[in-house]
Amino acid sequence: MTIKGYTQCILALILVFLLSGNCKKGEKTIDAIKIEAQDVNLEEERYRPNFHFTPRANWMNDPNGMFYLNGIYHLYFQYYPNGNVWGPMHWGHATSKDLFHWSEQPIALYPDELGFIFSGSAVVDNNNSSGLGKDGIAPVVAFFTYHDMNGEKEGRMDYQSQAMAFSLDEGMTWTKYEENPVIPNPGIKDYRDPKVIWDENNDKWIMSLAAGNKIMFYSSKNLMDWNFESEFGEGVGAQGGVWECPDLFPLQVNNSGEPKWVLLVSINPGGPNGGSATQYFIGDFDGQDFVPDEDFLIQLEKEKAVWLDYGRDNYAGVTWSNIPESDGRKIGIGWMSNWDYARDVPTYTWRSAMTIPRELRLHKEEGKYCVRSRPVKEFYDFVEKEVEWRSIGLNEFNAVFDKNLNLNSTHLELALKDLKAYTYDLSFYNQQGDSLTIGLDNTQNQFYIDKTASGKVDFSEKFAPAKSVYKLNKSVDDIRIQIVLDKTSVEVFVNDGAIVFTELFFPNALLDRCSLISDHTSFNMAYVKLQELKFQN
Ligand code: FRU
pLDDT, tens digit (0-9, with 9 covering 90-100), for 200-234: 999 999 999 999 999 999 999 999 999 999 999 99
CA neighbours closer than 13 Å in the CB half-sphere of residue 470? 24
% of residues, the chain, pLDDT over 70: 93
Asked if residue 52 belongs to a domain, the reply is no
Q: What is the model's pLDDT at position 40? A: 77
Asked if residue 296 belongs to a domain, the reply is yes
Q: What is the model's pLDDT at position 37? A: 67
pLDDT digits (tens, 9 = 90+) for 61-100: 999 999 999 999 999 999 999 999 999 999 999 999 999 9
pLDDT digits (tens, 9 = 90+) for 296-341: 999 999 999 999 999 999 999 999 999 999 999 999 999 999 999 9
Q: What is the model's pLDDT at position 14? A: 36
When pLDDT is averaged across residues 250-264 and rounded to a whole number, the result is: 96
Three-state secondary structure call for residue 144: strand
User: At residue 3, does pLDDT exceed 50?
Assistant: no
How many angstroms is it from 417 CA to the middle of ligand 1?
Answer: 42
Q: CATH number for the domain including 252? A: 2.115.10.20
Please give the Cα distance from 405 to 412 (Å, whole number). Answer: 12
Q: Amino acid letter at 339? A: W
How many angstroms is it from 162 CA to the middle of ligand 1?
Answer: 13
Q: Are 116 and 147 spatial neighbours (Cβ–Cβ below 8 Å)?
A: yes
Please give the Cα distance from 489 to 485 (Å, whole number). Answer: 6
Asked if residue 489 belongs to a domain, the reply is yes
Looking at per-residue pLDDT, the higher value among 534 and 15 belongs to 534
When pLDDT is averaged across residues 104-109 and rounded to a whole number, the result is: 98
What's the mean pLDDT when you consider all of the chain? 92
Q: Which ligand 1 atom sits nearest the alpha carbon of residue 62?
A: 7
Same domain (yes/no): 435, 332: no
Asked if residue 419 belongs to a domain, the reply is yes
Strand pairing of 435-441 and 446-450? antiparallel
pLDDT digits (tens, 9 = 90+) for 490-501: 999 999 999 999
Q: What is the model's pLDDT at position 21? A: 31
Q: What is the model's pLDDT at position 530? A: 97
Q: What is the model's pLDDT at position 45? A: 82
Q: What is the model's pLDDT at position 456? A: 97
Catalytic residue among 62, 247, 293, 313: 62
Same domain (yes/no): 144, 19: no
Residue 454 near ligand 1, beta carbon < 6 Å: no
Q: Which domain holds residue 510?
A: 380-533
- For the chain, the domain total comes to 3
Q: What is the model's pLDDT at position 1? A: 40
Q: What is the model's pLDDT at position 19? A: 29
Asked if residue 359 belongs to a domain, the reply is yes
Same domain (yes/no): 362, 298: yes
Q: In the structure, what pLDDT confidence band is assigned to residue 182 with cuts at 50, 70 and 90?
A: very high
Same domain (yes/no): 367, 506: no
Picking from 485, 514, 517, 515, the residue whose alpha carbon sits closest to that of residue 502 is: 485
Residue 119 near ligand 1, beta carbon < 6 Å: yes
% of residues, the chain, pLDDT over 90: 90
Same domain (yes/no): 385, 329: no
DSSP character for 362?
E
Q: Which ligand 1 atom sits nearest the alpha carbon of residue 276?
A: 7
Same domain (yes/no): 75, 190: yes
Same domain (yes/no): 384, 362: no
CA–CA–CA angle 25, 27, 29 (5° rounding): 70
Residue 62 near ligand 1, beta carbon < 6 Å: yes
Residue with CA at minimum distance from ligand 1 atom 8 = 244
Residue 244 near ligand 1, beta carbon < 6 Å: yes
Q: What is the model's pLDDT at position 24? A: 27
Asked if residue 223 belongs to a domain, the reply is yes
Best residue among 78, 89, 276, 338 to mutate for probing ligand 1, ranked by most atoms within 8 Å of CB? 78
Q: What is the model's pLDDT at position 536? A: 81
pLDDT digits (tens, 9 = 90+) for 15-71: 333 323 332 222 222 233 344 666 778 888 889 999 999 999 999 999 999 999 999
Please give the Cα distance from 177 to 112 (Å, whole number). Answer: 13
> Does the CA dihedral 149-150-152-158 come out positive or negative?
negative
How many angstroms is it from 267 CA to the middle of ligand 1?
Answer: 10
pLDDT digits (tens, 9 = 90+) for 394-422: 999 999 998 889 899 999 999 999 999 99
Residue 192 near ligand 1, beta carbon < 6 Å: yes
Q: Amino acid letter at 86? A: W
Residue with CA at minimum distance from ligand 1 atom 6 = 118
Q: What is the pTM of this model?
A: 0.93
Same domain (yes/no): 149, 251: yes
Distance of CA 296 to the CA centre of its chain: 25
Neighbours of 274 (CB within 10 A): 17
User: At residue 6, does pLDDT exceed 90?
Assistant: no
Same domain (yes/no): 153, 188: yes
Q: What is the model's pLDDT at position 39? A: 72
Asked if residue 511 belongs to a domain, the reply is yes
Q: What is the model's pLDDT at position 324? A: 98
Strand pairing of 383-393 and 103-109? unpaired
Same domain (yes/no): 97, 241: yes
Best residue among 89, 116, 119, 355 to mutate for probing ligand 1, ranked by most atoms within 8 Å of CB? 119
Catalytic, 289? Answer no
Q: Are 504 and 492 spatial neighbours (Cβ–Cβ below 8 Å)?
A: no
CA 108, 112, 115, 117: dihedral to nearest 10 degrees? 0
Q: CATH number for the domain including 472? A: 2.60.120.560
Same domain (yes/no): 412, 266: no
Q: What is the model's pLDDT at position 13? A: 35
Same domain (yes/no): 357, 401: no
How many angstroms is it from 117 CA to the middle of ligand 1?
Answer: 10
Asked if residue 348 belongs to a domain, the reply is no
Distance of CA 357 to the CA centre of its chain: 10
User: At residue 459, does pLDDT exceed 70?
Assistant: yes
Strand pairing of 277-285 and 290-292? antiparallel
